[in-house]
Amino acid sequence: MDLHELIQSMSKAEKRHFKLYVQSGLGKGQLPKYLSLFDLLNRQEYYDEKKVTRKGFNYDDKSILNEKILEALHVFHAGKSIDSELTILLHQISILYQKSLWNELSKRAKKARKLATEHERFLSLLEVIRWDRIITHRQGNYEAYNLLIKEQMKIREILDEEMHYVELADRIGIILLRDGALNKAENRLQIEKWANELSSKKYPESALAQIAYHRVRFRYYFHIKKDKKQAYAEVFKIVQLYDIHDFVLLKEGHIALYLIMLYWQRTLSDNPNQKIDFVKIIEQLPQQSPHTVYAAYTFGLADCQRNLNEESGELIIKKMEDEQYFSKIKLPKKLPLFYNIIIFYSSFGKWEKAQRWLDEILSIKRPTVRRDIQIKLRFWLLVVAYERVPDELDKHIQSMQKYLKRANHNSDIQQQVIQAFNDLDQAIGHAKKKVIWEKLHITLEKEAQHSVSTDIPIRELQRWCKSKIERITIAEVMEKHSI
pLDDT tens figures, 272-300:
566 666 666 766 665 566 667 777 788 78
Amino acid symbol at 296: A
Q: Provide the pLDDT confidence category of residue 329 given band limits of 50, 70 and 90.
A: confident
Asked if the model's pLDDT at residue 152 lies above 90, the reply is: yes
Asked if the model's pLDDT at residue 18 lies above 60, the reply is: yes
User: 212-231 pLDDT, tens per residue?
Assistant: 999 999 999 999 999 999 99
pLDDT, position 283:
67
DSSP 424-436: HHH--SHHHHHHH
Share of the chain residues as helix, strand and coil, in percent rounded to the nearest 5: 80, 0, 20
What mean pLDDT do residues 67-79 have?
87
User: 99-131 pLDDT, tens per residue?
Assistant: 999 999 999 999 999 999 999 999 999 999 999
pLDDT, position 1:
58
Q: Provide the pLDDT confidence category of residue 64 given band limits of 50, 70 and 90.
A: very high
Residue % of the chain over a pLDDT of 70: 93
Asked if the model's pLDDT at residue 365 lies above 70, the reply is: yes
Asked if the model's pLDDT at residue 90 lies above 60, the reply is: yes
pLDDT, position 306:
76
Cα–Cα distance for residue pair 141/143, rounded to 1 Å: 6
Where are the chain's structural domains? Answer: 2-77, 82-140, 330-483
Amino acid symbol at 314: E
Q: Where are the alpha helices (DSSP H) in 30-141?
A: 33-43, 49-54, 59-77, 82-98, 102-118, 122-139
Instruction: Find all residues with CB under 8 Å of 482, minimum gap 6, and list them.
Output: none
Q: Which of 48-62, 405-419, 440-454 has the highest mean pLDDT?
A: 48-62
Cα–Cα distance for residue pair 345/327, rounded to 1 Å: 21
User: 301-318 pLDDT, tens per residue?
Assistant: 887 887 788 888 898 898
CB 353 within 8 A of CB 320: no
Lowest mean pLDDT segment, chosen from 73-82, 135-144, 195-204, 325-334: 325-334
Asked if the model's pLDDT at residue 483 lies above 70, the reply is: no
Instruction: Find all residues with CB under 8 Å of 451, minimum gap 6, and list them.
Output: 183
CB 423 within 8 A of CB 436: yes
